[in-house]
Amino acid sequence: MRGTVLIGGILVVASAMGAGLWYSQNYAYYKTVDGVTSVTAYGDEFPVSDYRGIDADTSPLKMRACFNVDWDYFPTDEFKDVATPLTAPRWFDCFDAKQIATDIADDNATTILSDENQPFGFNTYIAQYPDGRAFMWRQINECGHAVFDGQDLPEGCPDPNAPKPIPTSPSDVNIALTPISGSAETIAISDAMGVAAGDDFWACFTVDLSFAFLSETYEIVEEVSPTPTDLSCFDADTVASDVHTGGALAVMGQKNITPGVDRLVAIYEDGRAFAWHQKAAE
């Protein structure tokens, strides 16, 4: 009898561990990403619709997305032998990696390089179909393989520790704010400078927008957490403190500027403004 109870207990524990492992592989850490209205393709931002996505903080490889586009369809085999869709969790049923891979191989879909080394070591690809369906995923590239294997970086790989300068032309920085109702709209800025690294972004600039106008027009954010940076004009602790004490207003810049990440902007009465990326609120 005692042996039967012991065996039963072991089976219960084993079942629980198996269920926990299955859950962690298929559900845990994943978060859904909705509301994305544009993605990068051909080096520019293009609109998308019906975006359904998943992502996770634990690995860049967990990102998948399904959406529709109305861009022109340009067949190419440039990335045909490189792009390999990664299997998604079964519950994310709009993304069939096996079928997408087959369609790419059979020239029923074309592959676009969306982002390279963003974050470092990973490329983002989009499989586009002639009927407007599109699917996006990340996969490790040769730079990432070299780093993870402890080898020298292949020629052409960027320094993974070097921040990427942002052009100082305000039109290139392209700061936008999200109105209380509606989609993000670009605002006029000047004296822009900043840096970006992976999904991180910091910028300093000036604007001509009053607190009253901001409060009436744009979406105000209460909780901010800018991260430190070597950009000399950007003091993350000071910006956070000033927002919390009312010395600056934090405004939603662009939601899901990258999947699961928002761009926020802190603006002072004297026109100073600071932008950064932080994890989107749940």
- Which tokens go with 14? 């084993």
Dist CA 200 CA 147 (whole Å): 20
At 17 the pLDDT is 44
Tell me how far the alpha carbon of residue 138 is from its chain's centroid.
Answer: 11
| Mean pLDDT score of the chain | 87
pLDDT per residue rounded down to tens, the chain (282 residues) = 555 555 554 544 444 444 344 444 444 579 999 889 999 898 888 999 999 999 988 888 999 999 999 999 999 999 999 999 999 999 999 999 999 999 999 999 999 999 998 888 999 999 999 999 999 999 999 999 998 898 999 998 988 777 777 766 665 678 999 999 888 899 999 989 888 877 789 999 999 999 999 999 999 999 999 999 988 899 999 999 999 999 999 999 999 888 889 999 999 999 999 999 999 886
pLDDT, tens digit, for every residue of 200-225?
Answer: 899 999 999 999 999 999 999 999 99
- Residue 108: its pLDDT value, please? 97
Cβ(137)–Cβ(124) below 8 Å: yes
For residue 255, which phi and psi values (nearest 5 degrees)?
Answer: -75, 140
pLDDT of residue 213: 95
H or E element at residue 272: strand 272-279
pLDDT of residue 7: 53
User: What's the pTM?
Assistant: 0.59
Beta carbons of 37 and 53 less than 8 angstroms apart: no
Cα–Cα distance measured from residue 129 to residue 74, given in angstroms and rounded to the nearest whole number: 10
What is the helix, strand, coil percentage profile of the chain, to 5?
A: 25, 35, 40
User: What are the domain boundaries of the chain?
Assistant: 31-148, 164-279
| Residue 20: predicted pLDDT | 44
